[in-house]
Structure 1
Amino acid sequence: MRDGFIRVAALTPAVRVADVEYNVAACAEAVRSVTGAQVIVLPELAITSYTCEDLFWQDALLRAAEEGLARFAELTADVDALVFVGVPVRVASKLYNCAAVLCAGELLGLVPKCNIPTYGEFYEGRRFSAGPEDVTLVSFAGYGEVPFGSSQLFECDTVPGLIVAAEICEDLWVPNPPSTAAALAGATLVVNLSASNELVGKADYRRGLVSSTSARLVCAYAYASAGWGESTQDVVYGGHCLVAENGRVLGEAAPLADEPLVQAGDKPASTGVTTVIDLGLLAHDRLRMSTFDVDPAAAGFVVSPFSLCVRQTPLAGRFVDPHPFVPADPARRAERCESIFAIQAHGLAKRLAHTRSRRAVIGVSGGLDSTLALLVCARAFDLLGMERSGILAITMPGFGTTDRTHDNARAMSEALGCELREIGIAAAVRQHFADIGHDEADHSVTYENAQARERTQILMDVANREGGLVVGTGDLSELALGWATYNADHMSMYGVNAGVPKTLVRHLVRYVADDARTHGNAALAGVLLDVLDTPVSPELLPATGDGEISQKTEDLVGPYELHDFFLYNVLRCGFGPAKVYHLALAAFGGRYASGADADDAAVGTYDAETIMKWLRKFYWRFFSQQFKRSCLPDGPKVGSVAVSPRGDLRMPSDAVCTLWQRELDELE
């Protein structure tokens, strides 16, 4: 519950048709068997079973159901959870298909089904009436005044942001589900008690409904359907259970799974799914959407409070992605790389066409970022039907340039058919040192930045002379950390990598390398693979005695996989330092990413001290370097995280990070 995490369970107990005593025991056992779940949803009419047909007219069954619910409340009174279970309810002369809502042995409300299907294999309209929206008080199962009506919310007074609504099966399938009004009234979690039978293709459609509804309503959605034990007279029920969060399916119990249907002693087995939802993430997503208007005082909604014990919710069952920018599945990763590559190339093509530039000027270092930018240039020129010889790739060796990166820059430019020029900067920088009185033996920031600014001056002036456009190479991660020299590599006429984080840059280059290898361009593939093997470095300090790179970026600013993880969770999710820290421990603290393939480096493992060290560095750099981001050149946005001052990040350059650092201090 701390950090906004809540464990939710959608369960399908094995029932017997019209055997209330048996079903109550099965439902109670299912609830008690779930460790740590704070919200539990069971299927539609689980107390009686859904397929009782005209037996629902029998007084004996209805009385047993009412008594059975009271017994269920007793059996689950010591379970620290909000529980939803399906039960038939008589009100006056009508019968309603209801969700009974219980917590700590108390019946908090009865939520009736609003949309009664009477088509195909369903004939509910023969027995049940559509539930009213308006909430009234009724007596049921020994409870004197119970709210009854569809316009109900259940709000936890010990867990901020946990507001739960219920709908039943068909309610989800109609054009205007009750959950829409509930979400606009503040519900962050919607549960659905269902009895949806299995047909060919229906599971996919059902999954899509649950997922899309959670996305449209920016909520979590827990769906529990009836399963084995219901009558198979004409249809079969598969026990399909799902939990989704803002469009993402977090957990699923597939219908008709090949699992044992009975346990020891011929005891029917319950099935289902248990996972963790993130209320903090939902709150952030609603907060940032100007078109999502929550009205807590929505007319007609009755809010019933309940309490849960506040405790730490283990994240078991919820995958914390260590590489949130990079899909683990190779097919999805390739699809994303193609999409991003196309966005970059089309953006640059438009800018070239608009400025009537026949040349693109780019500094190539043999490193990852300039490699990706050069590949984007080549594709943009192809899109415009222009000869790649119009791309002017300039390599500018300086005091730290190694043979490896220099040779790779040349080989790549040649493989792509670009014009290559080499302009050494050593003499010009030495003259500059003399002009400003700097000792070349002093390898301070002046020594480094003078080289970076000389390179940018060359690119800008060559572009002017050639009537071209300087293409920037800096990536999103570098911009977030301020790892760029102001008015040097920080500046360009169009920054094609500005929206691409470092962890994804690597995969984009690999994607092009694989494509080149597939299409027989061995030379290009070879040099790209060697670039991928080269340590990330600005090469502004002299190489080692054996000619190797001496200045490795990640030794100075920290691992980019950590910084990209921090960046995503801070900007995309709006999480505070403590939550980011705890998530990083879950993602990197000794386990590997699910679905990583053999070509990927295993996810790094970092101890708590290392994560804290680099998280502090991230916040310090992110705040202190905003002045560089406040005057960024144009560049295409490619994902949900961006730092453009004209779009996603309107941040004051003089903000201090005291509050954020203090929160980290409290963890130590």
Structure 2
Amino acid sequence: MPTPDTLRLALAQLNPTVGDVAGNLALARSARAEAAAAGADVIVFTELFLAGYPPEDLVLRPSFQDACRRATEDLAADTADGGPAVIVGTPWAEGGEVYNAVAVLDGGRVEAVRFKVDLPNYGVFDEKRVFAAGPLPGPVMVRGVRLGVPVCEDIWSPDVVECLSETGAEILVVPNGSPYRRTVYDERANVAAARIAESGLPLVYVNQVGGQDELVFDGASYVLNADHALAVALPAFETAVVLTEWLRTADGWRCADGPKAVRDDGERADYRACMLGLRDYVNKNGFPGVVLGLSGGIDSAICAALAVDALGPERVQCVMLPYRFTSCDSLDDAAACADALGVRYDSVPIGAVVEAFEAALAPLFAGMARGVAEENLQSRARGTLLMAISNKLGPMVVTTGNKSEMSVGYATLYGDMNGGFNPIKDLYKTEVYRLSALRNAWKPADAMGPGGVVIPERILTKAPTAELRENQTDQDSLPPYDVLDAVLERLVERERSVAEIVAEGFDEATVRRVERLLTLAEYKRRQAAPGVKVTKRNFGRDRRYPITNRFRDPA
């Protein structure tokens, strides 16, 4: 067969679901048909596409491995039609081991399989737990072109790409399951640039889209030529099947300029990640919609906006749960927010419930001053009522605590922490304010909510309060949020010591108090609902501290 001078390579940036092997296969078939209609020679899918990523311990189940193998073989059989060859990620059991693999399908059969070499085992990744590492790979011949197919982490160090380059690869095609975090775009770009500089080869980066529990995959796939020029850029947080056109030149393969989507980044990307994470958690787990307590405060307001943007107003129910400490401003602000968002809005007073709790406990609490226990009864009454609405009517409860609160335990177990998912769990309070102001001025293109101001201005300007006692504000119990969040970011994201933070000019007593609260609240965080990861280190997958822990930074 003569060596081709052109190659039409389709990139499939899709949203698979973990465990839905039949559904993922159907997605692959639909995308392949679309690519075939566009004249593609090859279509590339993302890492572990047929299984969904990350499959975690599900991939150890033999029946799941078998289902993925059958799906791979069924997709291979489709390629007997003369349409595009397929490069697809799938688990592959062989020789008593399970591999994170890429299968090359053409001519009605599995032509080649390559295994991921560098298994990440840090942060959110735990691949060494479930996969065996493959040997250094050589390229695969696909439609007359030698393609190097390093898998995701394989390009984050030089060894795999060096081996592929030395063994004759002409183009690097990289299937990825790379989750979003707000620093990730620069990190990916730097890694890709390094591998291109070392190998002299163009690079195709194909990443999946969608939410999977705490993780959100942003897509943002692209093609870089060997001179580092950007040829094609796919949108972030959206699915797409895009055809790229390649020409063999005297200097090697070059991708012709194609679509270059403008990518949202910074706070806009954070908002879209939170929105997509909530949308997919609700939809992929089969909930008809969501319900949340709308207090008149900033956290519940932005969660309501995210829910409406993710699901549409008809699938969101907001409930005000007032007590005698609930201010008239809060009542008015919650109603105005619900009206702006166009959601169902109900009011369920909790006075009788709280008083019944207090009456039941009166013999045990006799002679004791009122305090936090009585305050938390209000929160727990609200949590119980929201869960009852969920049980009766079916919507999932959205919980609304931000990362500042989760960090220092300023939240009530079995109260405001009740719920199935938290879209702002990884956003500090100061970031919640910034994203709320952003949403009032901008609406994502794929948002299902209304444009314009959806969070009343007074919610953004009044002092935050839990309203569990008269004239309460958050700052009665916590440092100012700008100080608190700055200290927490250093303790959580950067693992700075108390001494290092104090050396930056922070008050030592404040830093030590925050560090103590952070440590003491670990047991609460273990019982918190999952939520979208947007920072470098979220609670749960990234930061895994022991609950029983007596270590404190020395004086």
Q: Is the Cα contact below 8 Å between 2:379 and 2:415 reproduced in 1?
A: yes
Deviation at 1:465, TM superposition (A): 0.7
Q: Is the Cα contact below 8 Å between 1:440 and 1:447 reproduced in 2?
A: no
Q: Which residue of 2 aligns with 1:640?
A: 536
Deviation at 1:571, TM superposition (A): 2.2
**Structure 2 Cα separation of the partners of residues 333 and 617 of structure 1:** 40
**Structure 2 Cα separation of the partners of residues 431 and 453 of structure 1:** 13
User: Alignment partner for residue 432 of structure 1, among 339, 357, 362?
Assistant: 357
**Structure 2 Cα separation of the partners of residues 459 and 395 of structure 1:** 10
Q: Which residue of 2 aligns with 1:464?
A: 391
Q: Is the Cα contact below 8 Å between 1:378 and 1:416 reproduced in 2?
A: yes
**Structure 2 Cα separation of the partners of residues 418 and 577 of structure 1:** 45
User: Are 2:492 and 1:571 equivalent residues in the alignment?
Assistant: yes
Q: Which residue of 2 aligns with 1:505?
A: 432
SS of the residue aligned with 1:346? helix
**Structure 1 Cα separation of the partners of residues 530 and 278 of structure 2:** 10
Q: Which residue of 1 aligns with 2:549?
A: 655
Identity %: 23
Deviation at 1:406, TM superposition (A): 1.3
User: Alignment partner for residue 582 of structure 1, among 498, 503, 525?
Assistant: 503
Deviation at 1:335, TM superposition (A): 3.7
Structure 1 counterpart of 2:413, one-letter code: Y
Q: Is the Cα contact below 8 Å between 2:426 and 2:532 reproduced in 1?
A: yes
**Structure 2 Cα separation of the partners of residues 528 and 634 of structure 1:** 28
Cα deviation, 1:191-236, whole Å, max 9, x if unaligned, reads: xxxxxxxxxxxxxxxxx99x9489979xxxxxxxxxxxxxxxxxxx
Q: Is the Cα contact below 8 Å between 1:430 and 1:440 reproduced in 2?
A: no
Count of equivalent residues: 302
SS of the residue aligned with 1:420? strand
**Structure 2 Cα separation of the partners of residues 627 and 343 of structure 1:** 27
Q: Is the Cα contact below 8 Å between 1:494 and 1:635 reproduced in 2?
A: yes
User: Are 2:341 and 1:416 equivalent residues in the alignment?
Assistant: yes
Matches within 5 A, 1:343-354: 343-354=273-284
Q: Is the Cα contact below 8 Å between 1:416 and 1:524 reproduced in 2?
A: no
User: Are 2:405 and 1:478 equivalent residues in the alignment?
Assistant: yes
Could you tell me the TM-score, scaled by structure 1's length? 0.42
Q: Is the Cα contact below 8 Å between 1:415 and 1:523 reproduced in 2?
A: no
Cα deviation, 1:239-270, whole Å, max 9, x if unaligned, reads: xxxxxxxxxxxxxxxxxxxxxxxxxxxxxxxx
User: Are 2:341 and 1:445 equivalent residues in the alignment?
Assistant: no
Cα deviation, 1:296-319, whole Å, max 9, x if unaligned, reads: xxxxxxxxxxxxxxxxxxxxxxxx
Deviation at 1:612, TM superposition (A): 1.9
SS of the residue aligned with 1:525? coil
**Structure 2 Cα separation of the partners of residues 492 and 333 of structure 1:** 32
User: Are 2:466 and 1:538 equivalent residues in the alignment?
Assistant: yes
Q: Is the Cα contact below 8 Å between 1:493 and 1:634 reproduced in 2?
A: yes
**Structure 1 Cα separation of the partners of residues 466 and 367 of structure 2:** 18
Deviation at 1:564, TM superposition (A): 1.4
Q: Which residue of 2 aligns with 1:133?
A: none
Q: Is the Cα contact below 8 Å between 1:568 and 1:641 reproduced in 2?
A: no
Matches within 5 A, 1:193-212: 212=190
Q: Is the Cα contact below 8 Å between 1:359 and 1:466 reproduced in 2?
A: no
**Structure 2 Cα separation of the partners of residues 492 and 540 of structure 1:** 20
Distance 1:452 1:650, change over 3 A: same
**Structure 2 Cα separation of the partners of residues 564 and 333 of structure 1:** 28
Deviation at 1:570, TM superposition (A): 1.8
Structure 1 counterpart of 2:522, one-letter code: Q
User: Alignment partner for residue 457 of structure 2, among 512, 529, 532?
Assistant: 529
Distance 1:580 1:426, change over 3 A: same
Distance 1:433 1:568, change over 3 A: same
Q: Is the Cα contact below 8 Å between 2:298 and 2:459 reproduced in 1?
A: yes
Distance 1:333 1:403, change over 3 A: farther
Distance 1:399 1:334, change over 3 A: farther
**Structure 1 Cα separation of the partners of residues 392 and 538 of structure 2:** 33
Distance 1:215 1:422, change over 3 A: farther
Distance 1:216 1:500, change over 3 A: farther
Deviation at 1:561, TM superposition (A): 1.4
Structure 1 counterpart of 2:370, one-letter code: H
Matches within 5 A, 1:225-374: 335-374=265-304
- Flag the structure with larger Rg: 1
**Structure 2 Cα separation of the partners of residues 363 and 333 of structure 1:** 33
Matches within 5 A, 1:566-645: 566-583=487-504, 585=505, 611-644=507-540
Q: Please, which moves more after superposition, 351-360 or 503-512?
A: 351-360
User: Are 2:464 and 1:551 equivalent residues in the alignment?
Assistant: no
Q: Is the Cα contact below 8 Å between 1:433 and 1:440 reproduced in 2?
A: no
User: Alignment partner for residue 402 of structure 1, among 327, 333, 341?
Assistant: 327
Structure 1 counterpart of 2:337, one-letter code: M
SS of the residue aligned with 1:631? coil
SS of the residue aligned with 1:495? coil
**Structure 2 Cα separation of the partners of residues 369 and 339 of structure 1:** 18
Q: Which residue of 1 aligns with 2:95?
A: none
Structure 1 counterpart of 2:390, one-letter code: A
Deviation at 1:488, TM superposition (A): 1.2
Cα deviation, 1:540-575, whole Å, max 9, x if unaligned, reads: 003xxxxxxx11112311112122112221222222
Matches within 5 A, 1:5-404: 212=190, 335-382=265-312, 388-404=313-329
Distance 1:523 1:396, change over 3 A: farther
Q: Is the Cα contact below 8 Å between 1:362 and 1:472 reproduced in 2?
A: yes
Could you tell me the TM-score, scaled by structure 2's length? 0.50
Q: Is the Cα contact below 8 Å between 1:496 and 1:635 reproduced in 2?
A: yes
Q: Is the Cα contact below 8 Å between 1:463 and 1:470 reproduced in 2?
A: yes
**Structure 1 Cα separation of the partners of residues 193 and 411 of structure 2:** 37
Distance 1:615 1:391, change over 3 A: same
**Structure 2 Cα separation of the partners of residues 334 and 530 of structure 1:** 28
RMSD (CA atoms): 3.3
**Structure 2 Cα separation of the partners of residues 557 and 434 of structure 1:** 31
Distance 1:425 1:580, change over 3 A: same
SS of the residue aligned with 2:518? helix
Deviation at 1:359, TM superposition (A): 2.3
SS of the residue aligned with 2:398? strand
Deviation at 1:632, TM superposition (A): 2.0
Can you give the 5+ residue segments of structure 2 that lack an aligned partner in the other structure? 1-156, 160-185, 196-261
Cα deviation, 1:452-505, whole Å, max 9, x if unaligned, reads: 000000100101111110011001111111110112112211111111111100
Q: Which residue of 1 aligns with 2:253?
A: none
Q: Which residue of 1 aligns with 2:46?
A: none
Q: Is the Cα contact below 8 Å between 1:557 and 1:617 reproduced in 2?
A: no
Deviation at 1:657, TM superposition (A): 3.8
Q: Please, which moves more after superposition, 346-355 or 619-628?
A: 346-355
Cα deviation, 1:584-638, whole Å, max 9, x if unaligned, reads: x1xxxxxxxxxxxxxxxxxxxxxx6xx2222121011011111001222111111
**Structure 2 Cα separation of the partners of residues 338 and 621 of structure 1:** 31
Q: Is the Cα contact below 8 Å between 1:471 and 1:493 reproduced in 2?
A: yes
